[in-house]
Amino acid sequence: MSTADQGASSPTAHLFNPLFAQPEGSPIRELFPYLSRPGMLSLAGGYPSPSLFDAEGLQQAAMAALQQDAATSLQYGASEGQLALREALAALCATRGIACTPADMIVTTGSQQAFDLLVKVLVEPGDPVLVEVPAYPATLQTLKLAQAQVVAVPTDEQGLDTEALARLLAQWPHARAPKMLYTVPNFSNPGGTLLPAARRTALVELARQHGFVIVEDDPYGELRFAGQREPSIYETGLALCGAQANPVVYLSSLSKTVAPALRIGWMLADAQLLRRCTIAKQTADLCTSPLAQMIAAHYLRSGRYAPQLAQACAEYAARMDALCSGMQSALGDQIRFVRPAGGMFVWARLLPPQRLAGDSQALARALFTAAVEQGVLYVPGKAFFPADAADKAGLCMRLSYAAPTVPQITEAVARLGRAWGQAVS
């Protein structure tokens, strides 16, 4: 008997919210059982490398939090976040070119909570929400549970296609206007793309013209390997619209640059939106762990963040190069991808032989099965599309170079090449 069948026969089954009657979990987290197989190499998870955690620095920060700020660290805290951390995060934002104060932000339990709060505050069932596609699966999952109408916005090698968005908005077919747009402009998950400055400006202009909120999710922006920093969409909005009319909400996190276990994220937005998100947060968790917040505050003030970040960027650049060079060697002209200039991900598309081009979904299933047999894991592309557009994923896949070492990546790509040969034979 399946878990779903067991749930249907339980005495509480009739009490479930219909949205949770037959729930679907994260398509990425449902790959976890494969990780327990002996010898499995994973290019699937978007986890930062454990070798890059500054355990010593975090231990010192934890000791300082408990020795210097025990009363604050171990007590309930303000829902908007500890002032010490918000000051440190404002200073961090300044290094990204974003001018803000502690009053402009709230601290959240990871940036995923920040997005969830925004959806609760802004989105009603049936509201259209614009989402760049392919998209981060947790975003799609959140919007599905909110009963939003996901409207896909296409992307290309430079990220969200603002010209395609403009055409869509000019011929808007829906009864309701869009409430918000979600984008990861810096080294996106899953695309690895970097949105150019001109598109950022165009996006703000479209938001101002059509009255929707831009949710700029930026967990990867500091993991840059090459090139110059693009202005955030948030600061572009400030420059074009002013603080009172800025249509951009900025989300970020320390999960990819310090440690996921801290669960420290934050949101920059106008005062009215922050107040409502703070109230929504009170019903979720009262406050993000004050101990975690004070550890993060001490760590950001310690001077260790910048050198640790530089080390991470150098290591991830080497791993990215190993993955991209390895795929080119193993699969040659059978694979297409763009080398990212930062972040943790490569979005790749395989080109099937002509004789197999008619059923990409069957071939995608065969490839995944062969990859598991060969001992390598990736995330199939369909995980990053809304359910009604999953067929557009074709033979795409997301590959992460963040957690495995260079030798592991080299072997994983060789296994992927053998799996592809097995799938098309």
pLDDT, residue 9, reads 62
Cα distance between residue 159 and residue 189, in whole Å: 10
- Determine which helix (DSSP H) or strand (DSSP E) holds 92, and give its type and residue range: helix 83-95
pLDDT, residue 415, reads 98
Give the fold, CATH level 3, of 56-302: Aspartate Aminotransferase; domain 2 (3.40.640)
Q: Within 10 A of 303 (CB to CB), how many other CB atoms are there?
A: 10
Q: CATH 3.90.1150.10 residue ranges in the chain?
A: 23-46+307-424
Q: Which CATH class is domain 23-46+307-424?
A: alpha beta
Q: CATH 3.40.640.10 residue ranges in the chain?
A: 56-302
Cα distance between residue 254 and residue 351, in whole Å: 37
Helix and strand numbers, DSSP H then E, in the chain? 15, 14
Q: What are the average pLDDT values for consecutive 10-residue runs of the chain, which has 425 residues?
A: 50 83 78 87 94 98 98 98 98 97 98 98 98 96 96 97 98 94 98 98 98 98 95 97 96 98 98 98 97 98 98 98 97 96 98 80 93 96 89 91 98 98 93
pLDDT, residue 1, reads 37
**CB 144, CB 397: distance < 8 Å:** no
pLDDT, residue 253, reads 98
Q: Where are the alpha helices (DSSP H) in 182-232?
A: 197-210
CA distances for 128 relative to 67, 143, 166, 247, 316, angstroms = 49, 10, 16, 17, 37
Dig out the tokens for 232 from the structure. 């955030």
pLDDT, residue 66, reads 98
Unique residue bearing structure tokens 């408990």:
66
Cα distance between residue 104 and residue 86, in whole Å: 9
Q: Is 278 helix (H, G, I), strand (E, B) or coil?
A: helix
Furthest-apart CA atoms within the chain: distance in Å: 69
Instruction: Sort 189 into a burial class: Cβ within 10 Å, 0-12 / 13-18 / 19+.
Output: buried
pLDDT, residue 3, reads 44
pLDDT, residue 2, reads 42
Upper half-sphere CA count for residue 412 (Cβ side, 13 Å):
25
End-to-end CA distance of the chain: 36
